[in-house]
């Protein structure tokens, strides 16, 4: 389950370095030429191209591609039809370590929004 709480509360999520994302993801998904799926400015993956790969796969490889789609299109959306490399890095990290970054990112977002609300930053003040 993608949103389950980790068993070890003291595990730390570290984002994957950007130059390691494509090779790690390529190995994990067993897609040799993943570079052809890169979108604008090499900062995202085209979901349509991944869907074509999805049709060729079966079993656990197909499940991994669907999970990548959930991470990139639902949990960490960027632009329509694109999976950001940050979302791909979060997915690779989850697959490799079973540390789920979703709870951490949600908590950081809530804390940031709460801080902005308390300090009055991030919103225009009424005159």
The answer to whether the pTM exceeds 0.85 is no
Residue 38 β-bridge partners: 45
> How buried is residue 4: exposed, middle or buried, by Cβ count under 10 Å (0-12/13-18/19+)?
exposed
* pLDDT tens for each residue of 12-69: 555 666 677 788 888 888 888 777 777 656 777 888 888 888 888 888 888 888 888 8
* Segments in the chain forming alpha helices (H): 18-29, 47-56, 60-69, 85-97, 102-119
Mean pLDDT, rounded, for 68-72: 85
Q: Which two tokens stand for residue 5?
A: 């709480």
Are the C-beta atoms of residues 20 and 120 closer than 8 Å to each other? no
Give backbone dihedrals phi and psi of 108, rounded to 5 degrees, phi first: -65, -40
Residue of higher predicted confidence among 124 and 56: 56
Cα distance from N-terminal residue to C-terminal residue, the chain? 48
Dist CA 7 CA 56 (whole Å):
35
């Amino acid at each position: 389950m993608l949103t389950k709480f980790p068993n070890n509360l003291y595990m730390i999520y570290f984002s994957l370095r950007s130059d390691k994302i494509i090779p790690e993801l390529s190995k994990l998904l067993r897609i040799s030429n993943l570079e052809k799926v890169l979108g604008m400015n090499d900062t995202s993956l085209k979901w349509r191209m991944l869907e074509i790969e999805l049709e060729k796969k079966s079993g656990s490889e197909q499940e991994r591609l669907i999970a990548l789609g959930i991470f990139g299109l639902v949990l960490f959306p960027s632009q329509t039809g694109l999976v950001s490399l940050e979302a791909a890095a979060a997915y690779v990290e989850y697959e490799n370590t079973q540390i789920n970054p979703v709870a951490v990112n949600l908590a950081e977002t809530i804390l940031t929004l709460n801080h902005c609300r308390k300090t009055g930053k991030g919103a225009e003040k009424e005159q």
